[in-house]
Each structure stands twice: as C-alpha cells, then as structure tokens.
C-alpha cells in the first residue's frame, strides 16, 4: 500500500471516529452521574446561582455566554475559566473573550467552593459540570425551560488564547457562516437558530454593531434590514465615538426574560447583530423564526434539545481531563 493510500485510510478512520464520537460521549454523560458521590450537587450549585442572581442580574447572561464560549473552543471542559500565567496566555484573555463578564466566572468558582465544602463531594465534581448546571439554572431563573443536565465531563488540560480565533461566531456572520461553524460541532441549522435565542438576554457593546447604523455601505449608511425607529434609537444610544464600554440590551423589549420575543423582534427588523437579523431575512431560516415567534413551547423544546447537544461538544473523559481543585488553574 502506498503512502498516500495509508494516509487516506488513516484519515478516513480518524474521520469516522470523530463523526461517531458524539454518540459515545452522550453514552458516557448521564443525568444522575453524581448520584453516589455527590447526590446533592444540583441543589448546592442552584443555591449559589440564586445568591449570585440576587446580587446582580448580570449573573444570568454572564453564565450563559461563558458556557457557549467554553464549549465552542476545545469543547465543554471549563478551559475558558483558566487564568493566564507568565508562561501561558489562556483562552479568557483572547480579545473575543475579554467581554465575558466576571460574574460568570465568579458563579462557577463560588459553586465549586460550595460543592467542595461537602466532605463527600470534595474534588469529585468537575468545573465543566458545574458550569453546565449553572447554565441550566440561570435559564430557568430568567423564565426559560428547566431540563435535566447530562453530567460526567472532566476539566480540560489546555487553555490557549491561540485556539480561540475563528472558533466563535461573529456579529457580522451570514447564514452560511453560522451554519458552517455550528455544523463543525455537530449542531444543525435548527440548533443554531435556537441557541441564537440566548440573545434574548444580556447586552452588547456599541462597537459590535456600529457598522449597521453608521457606515453599512456607500449607498446605505444604515443597514436596510434594521427597523428605522430602532436604528434611530441605536444611533442615539451609540453615537459615533461613544465610549466602547456602553452596554446595549440585545433584546430591547424584554431584556431580562428568557422568551421567544427575540424571534418577534427579528420579524420587526430589531435584531441587534447582522447574525441575528439574517435568521429572518434569509428565506432558509425565516420559517423557523416565524414558527418560534408564534409558538413559545415548540421553541423551548428545540432550545433544550440544542443545549443538550451543545453540552456534549468535545467532552473530555479518561486521560484527556481531570477534576480541577481550583477552576481557574490546572492541578
């Protein structure tokens, strides 16, 4: 057999492994994973999330974004929580992650401390699983669906800023770019649209969408897909040369509720990012937006399904991970 044939055969076998891996991972993850070792883990985490939420609403979008940014780079392994050291610039210090709110990290670190304070649970529960549980809890706290979280992830052993670039969706993405990126994680178009609805919560900064309201194209300074009244409001809140730290709600109608108003906003031309509005302007995804805008229950079912699939991405098991003593540092 020639070198090329050997390469092709080995490449194909690697491809097959990666295609079938999500199912193997799903089999390893289970909802009652800590039933014997730390049976109260869910209530311990939920109590910490509740306390954080009482201190600041930002806890909700912060934890949700942290989970996405973690899973899309290196898989759901809490690598995004690792702090940089003199010898390593970690994921969290990549420019795409600098906008992650500290309250998300703080929630996971506090929940880990609360879990480890129970002698039988000490060093038994991964930071990756705590983040997955906290994410479900913040969705529920803001009026979203409750669901059973699959558990059994290990924490990752690497966290490099250099792995982040090109692995997170950009506000300027069109439908093909969104679908391609999500498909690389085993997520289909419906999953992508459902997960985009996380933008029903939280906020963004003016520089993430200023191109849509000031210099979209030579012919149209304002993106024609933006509702005119909404565009005028955005120009007022985000004038040129505004402080880049100014925060704008992603959902101008119900910014603190996890709901399907996100899709109703898209129908009115009130998606904040190009990557939001394109879900309605592109005929291939418009039907899903219309359905979920009118049917909250169907949307919530799709969202839970998509979150479960997201939670299986790149999960570490065996020698590929461990349980961190400190979520922010490798053992």
Residue with the bigger pLDDT between 107 and 12: it is 107
- Predicted confidence band of residue 25 (pLDDT cuts 50, 70, 90): low
In this predicted structure, the answer to whether residue 263 has a pLDDT above a threshold of 80 is yes
C-beta atoms surrounding 295 within 10 Å: 14
**In this structure, which topology does domain 40-163 adopt according to CATH?**
Peroxidase; domain 1 (1.10.520)
Active-site residue, from 69, 94, 185, 205: 69
Query: Contact, 313 vs 183, CB < 8 A?
Result: no
Per the annotation, binding residues are 70, 73, 75, 77, 79, 91, 169, 199-200, 251, 254, 259
Look at strands 203-205 and 247-249 and give their pairing.
Answer: antiparallel
* Residue 209 φ/ψ, nearest 5 degrees: -140, 10
Integer Cα distance of 54 and 195 in angstroms: 25
Tens digits of residue pLDDT in 76-112: 999 999 999 999 999 999 999 999 999 999 999 999 9
Over the stretch 122-151, which tens digit does the pLDDT of each residue have?
999 999 999 999 999 999 999 999 999 999
Name the residue among 160, 133, 157 with its Cα closest to residue 67.
133
Residue 94 catalytic? no
Q: What is the CATH number of domain 175-306?
A: 1.10.420.10
Query: Cβ(190)–Cβ(237) under 8 Å?
Result: no
Asked whether residue 260 carries a pLDDT value surpassing 90, the answer given is yes
Q: Please state, in angstroms and rounded to a whole number, the distance separating the CA atoms of residues 36 and 125.
A: 12
Average pLDDT over residues 199-214: 94
Token pair 């879900």 is found at 279
Write out the binding residues for heme b: 199
pLDDT at 2 over 90: no
Number of neighbouring beta carbons within 10 Å of residue 308 = 18
Residue 158 reports pLDDT greater than 90: yes
Q: Are 118 and 38 in contact (CB under 8 A)?
A: yes
330 has pLDDT over 80: yes
Instruction: Copy the structure tokens of residue 291.
Output: 């359905």
pLDDT band at 19 (very low <50, low <70, confident <90, very high): very low
All structural domains of the chain with their residue ranges: 40-163, 175-306
Binding region for Ca(2+): 70, 73, 75, 77, 79, 91, 200, 251, 254, 259
């Amino acid at each position: 057999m020639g070198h090329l044939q050997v390469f092709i055969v080995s490449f194909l076998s690697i491809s097959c492994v990666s295609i079938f891996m999500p199912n193997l991972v799903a089999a390893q993850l289970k909802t009652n994973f800590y039933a014997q070792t730390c049976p109260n883990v869910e209530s311990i985490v939920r109590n910490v999330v509740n306390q954080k939420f009482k201190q600041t609403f930002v806890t909700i979008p912060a934890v949700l974004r942290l989970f996405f940014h973690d899973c899309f780079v290196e898989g759901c392994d809490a690598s995004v929580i690792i702090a940089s050291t003199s010898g390593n610039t970690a994921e969290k210090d990549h420019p795409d992650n600098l906008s992650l709110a500290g309250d998300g990290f703080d929630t996971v670190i506090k929940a880990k401390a609360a879990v480890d304070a129970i002698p039988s649970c000490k060093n038994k529960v991964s930071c990756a699983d705590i983040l997955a549980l906290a994410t479900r809890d913040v969705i529920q706290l803001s009026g979203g669906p409750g669901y059973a979280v699959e558990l059994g992830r290990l924490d990752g052993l690497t966290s490099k800023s250099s792995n982040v670039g090109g692995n997170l969706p950009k506000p300027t993405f069109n439908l093909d770019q969104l679908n391609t990126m999500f498909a690389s994680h085993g997520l289909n178009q419906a999953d992508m649209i459902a997960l985009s609805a996380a933008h029903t919560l939280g906020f963004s900064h003016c520089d993430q969408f200023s191109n849509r309201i000031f210099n979209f194209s030579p012919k149209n300074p304002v993106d024609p897909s933006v509702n005119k009244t909404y565009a005028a409001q955005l120009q007022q809140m985000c004038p040129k040369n505004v402080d880049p730290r100014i925060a704008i709600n992603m959902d101008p109608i119900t910014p603190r509720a996890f709901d399907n108003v996100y899709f109703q906003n898209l129908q009115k031309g009130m998606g904040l990012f190009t990557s939001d509005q394109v879900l309605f302007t592109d005929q291939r995804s418009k039907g899903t937006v219309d359905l979920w805008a009118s049917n909250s229950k169907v949307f919530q079912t799709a969202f839970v399904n998509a979150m479960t699939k997201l939670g299986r991405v790149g999960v570490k098991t065996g020698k590929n991970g461990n349980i961190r003593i400190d979520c922010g540092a490798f053992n």
